[in-house]
Structure 1
Amino acid sequence: MVPTTSALPVWLLFLCGLGEAAPSHRGHCTGNQCFALFHEPGDFAGAQKSCKDSGGQSLMSNSEHVETLLKSPLPGSYWLTPSPDGPGRPGCPCISVSGGRNFTVLWKPCLDTLDGFLCQFTFDELCGGLQAASDAQVKYTYTSMDLELDLELDDSDTFPPGTIAVAGTLDGQYLDSKHVCTSSGWLEAPWTCEVLQGGCEHTCSPTHGCICPAGEILQPNNFACTASPCASNPCTGEGEECQFTTDGFTCTCKDGFVQEDGECVDVAICEKCEHMLCDKFNGVYMCHCRKGFSVSPRDPTKCELICTERDCPSICVHDDKKGPQCFCLDGYIQDTSPNTSTPFCTDIDECESNQCDQQCENAFGSYRCLCDDGFKLHHNKYTCVPVKELEEDDDGSGSTAPYPSPASPHPATVVPSYIKTGSVMGMSVFVALCAALLYFLIRNGAKRCGRFELPSFRHPEIDIFYLQQVTTEKYKRISFDKQFKNDPPTIL
């Protein structure tokens, strides 16, 4: 519920604030004229100029409306305009108010500074009093942005265009209405946004009227705003949302939720179920499938065919661009047959890849690992450990994994112990072969280049030959010397 104030009504506080926002210039309108008392200190010349700048003229001392303006003025002295038929006296006329309705017309030096002045204004068209409820009080305020004029026009008979009338009752939570005087009469807020923001307290929209800021809602009067009861987020249940009502607020279910046993339950998934079967489980609606199908693990709204044989038809989806796209359930692989053009699904024998530590039992679409006597399946579902060791790992609690227990269709790859040992030996042999090969490559390169020396392996009788550039004459001489050396000695 929207709380009500135990002190002044909201609309009365608004009126008080409106009075504080504008200068306290008291006015009175009757016929086509308005008269105003301004509390602006100054001399006589300044008072005359201020009246003229506001679109009026100084009120004459013999005007019958002087007494109306001075019904309850503040004590002080206020400038007037001398009457043409008045007695000629030195100085300028003014009215001195001592309290209540007692006032006296005096003549003071025109350069004296008084408390204010009296002005009169003439208008072509005026509005009559606003027709409000019999128990409503109306406050009239005239505001002219062009003339910088603000007047409180209570107890007036007529009102100039631009006058704002706000009506409300003393026991009401909100203001009843707000109107503006135009040449055609009173217009109720919200009016056109071009005139005083449509009378809206905050933002005026040409298409939506008055708009409130975040966390506030529009009051029934359609121009003022108040704090939204939903701003404090009172509806916090799953799937709930807060809606404002004339009595306060109410908690309702969001779209896609229905109320069951006082709670909002999500049923949006039921509209997407492929087989249109939907049941509630533990307070949550879930899709179900017809016999022979199961809910897809990839999409909880889709159904997949259950395969209980070694070979089953593949699941195909038509694609406009790529044609039929076929796939198999987990644990099956696509295969083809010369008898049919459509691929089918055949069971994967996971035991052929030796996934289990000791024993393996294949199943359609899955498999499970088993252990020998004296062993139990470890928590990872594919490694076997001695029963005693497993109990020690469980801190003596004695609780072990179920035996036998089916393994996941796709467990992580685990290398058995004997494979680990063979791998180490194989890697050692491989490293030794690589080292020997590297040695022979280096040695062969040294022989080819002729520059790489291996002094530790060189035989002491081995000669090393070097290539040398020679000329033709030198080559003939070397050849001749060699031939001479090879000739047998001559026996004399």
Structure 2
Amino acid sequence: MAIARPLVLLLLLLVRGSGGKDAEVICAGTACYTLHRAELGWNSAQERCRDNGGNLAPARSAAEAERLQELMAAGGWLGPAWIGLSLPRGRCVQPQEPLQGFIWAAGGEAGSYSAWLSEPTSTCLSSRCVSLQLAGPSGPAGWTDRSCRNVLPAFLCKFSFQGMCGPLPLAGPARVSYTTPFWVRTPHMAAAPFGTLVEADCEGGEGPAFAVCKGPLEGGGFAWDPPGPLCPATCAQCQHRCLEEPGEPPRCVCHPGYLLAPDMASCMPKDPCDPNPCQGTCRTRPGGFECGCEAGYTLAPDGRRCLDVDECLAGPCHHECHNTAGSFVCLCRPGYRLTEPGGHHCHDEDECAQPGVCPQLCLNVPGSFHCACRPGYQRQPGGGNACLDVDECLREPCPGRCLNLPGSFKCLCPPSYLLEEDGRGCRAAPTAGEEPTGAPNSTLRTTGIPQTMGLPRTTGIPRTTGILQTTGAPRTTSILQTLGIPVGATPPAPTAVGLVPGPEHSTDGPRLLLYYILGSLVAILLLLAFALALLACRKRAAKREKQPAKSAADNYCWVPEQPESHRAGGERSVWEKQ
């Protein structure tokens, strides 16, 4: 008692010096939960909780989530309020996990309980934090993720302790104020954590009385010091009996089977569950009590402790099962994912839906995928996914030259040849004025080079098909008639000179074309020379025919005949030489 008094006074000075803050608080088991009204971001709220020795409140089970909702309802706050669940920056959302990859600020196992109102935002680059919303007109109770920088008007904290003290015993009416170790002041507490200071202002006119929750005691547990009752009552206030002992203040006692009420004056039936002898829940039964455990636990053989149930032994999961405290978590093999958060069944994940999985083609298979290449490409040797171009020209698919292209190839034909519709064969190109027959049997059957066709020996000029059209010389009727070619006649077609050229003769085409051009030029020059010579001869002959014939009288003049009567006198003759 001598040591307790100074401790009580020291705690009183600390509390009054720091100033407790009003907040809603609820304590049960070994933890207290508080609801604070302050507009803060998630990180600032976590710092406030940590400064007082706690963390933002988790909700690892349905019972703990119900306790938080009860606290918010008692404070008249529907939400939202920050809780201790967040996704740090650099950590990705995991849809197959109940918490979606989020972690509790207080640490520990994630557990299988979750209460998402909607799927959280899928991200790996920004931090996301969770708030709790009570059921109301806007929807049911549950979790919502949002940016950690958002400011919310409330947050929930959790403080853990080794034990609790029961209700403070009072012998008479008084105004009581509890100040907790986490600096929250409240007038009502069904259970107070270790280190809580109580100030009772008795109505009897006496000064305030103080007590502090101490422990652990020798037999275990925690108790108030001094044990009370505070504000002692007179015997007239006792419901059953009043016990007066020499040197002791009077106190009330109850008949067997009854317990003294917290007011230390009235009596109530004895409750074997107070204090709770069970690790879990306790129910009063006639003549005793009965212990119970939460879901995921089973009662131990001693009837008081609770043991974890290994739910994985029953095989509830489609693929893999991981047992946790009071519950279990289903996991999927690589390439699969849960059909829903916290579900038991797995379905195949389509890896091909993600961009950039394969360089060209992607084939999804159960639990995995395969990369493939488009036609004209092949996989890189050594097991890589890269696709390399196939050189189809190495298989010699063309009768002539072959050009390799990315994923394909192209056959090249010699000059004056056209590519067939199938892209592999070549056919001779039709000459000017000739309609293409389109017969498939004519492919590469002729060289396309006309032979020189001899003209009559009288002309001595070779007749070459297409000379007049090629040179562009005037096509006069006189020249054609001179050569003995009827006007409008078509020169005969060239005759075949060889078979289809093979790949080894693909270089003869340009050489034959050169010979054809040179021969045509020589024939044209000879024809022009002959035509010019012929025109010159004909002009010379025509000039000779037009020149008049000369006679002896060309040097004389003709004088008209004079009458004979004028000839007398020896006149000159009629013809005078000029």
Q: TM-score, normalization: structure 2?
A: 0.25
Q: Quick check: which has more Rg, 1 or 2?
A: 2
Give the TM-score normalised by the residue count of structure 1: 0.29
Higher relative contact order (CA 8 A, sep 6+): 2
